[in-house]
Amino acid sequence: MRQYAEGVTMSVNPAPPFVLVVEDDQGCSELITEVVTELGYQVVVRDNAEEAQTLLREQRPLLVVLDIMLPDADGFSVLRTMRENPDTETTPVMLCTAALFEVSEFHNPVIDPHTEIMPKPFHIDTFVSVMERLMAGR
């Protein structure tokens, strides 16, 4: 409880833990949401980089599932911004991609111990394994 004025108190509840899914393909985001929800986590979905970065300035997800190809920016720029912010520099990130030409980007210096690449399409078991590995390293 927090007291704001004499005799006035409010309960301050932090946002519940959640996984942020940043994916512009509705079918893919629905599949990821279903898998993550079945594992017992809440999910917040954003379909572009700008909305994801706004949310990341305000809340701290347990994990970010981040598409590399977004309509307004690439996932690498979102990741770079996260790693430059002390509040999100160690947040686990699963970078998802279906584009073969991005393989050369996998050696990009923004890839770090808190980030893994998940090629699309993916097997659900592999997705869950990578997710659990990243979250165990928190």
User: What is the tens place of the pLDDT at every residue in 30-51?
Assistant: 999 999 999 999 999 999 999 9
- Single-letter residue type at 51: E
Q: How many whole angstroms separate alpha carbon 99 and alpha carbon 32?
A: 18
* Banded pLDDT at 8 (limits 50, 70, 90): low
User: What is the tens place of the pLDDT at every residue in 82-127?
Assistant: 999 999 999 999 999 887 555 555 555 457 889 998 888 899 999 9
pLDDT surpasses 80 at 7? no
Domain ranges of the chain: 18-136
Write the CATH number of the domain with boundaries 18-136. 3.40.50.2300
Q: How many whole angstroms separate alpha carbon 31 and alpha carbon 26?
A: 9
* Banded pLDDT at 69 (limits 50, 70, 90): very high
Q: How many whole angstroms separate alpha carbon 97 and alpha carbon 134?
A: 17
Q: In the chain, how long is the greatest CA-to-CA distance?
A: 62
Please state the length of the chain. Answer: 138
The pTM for the full model equals 0.83
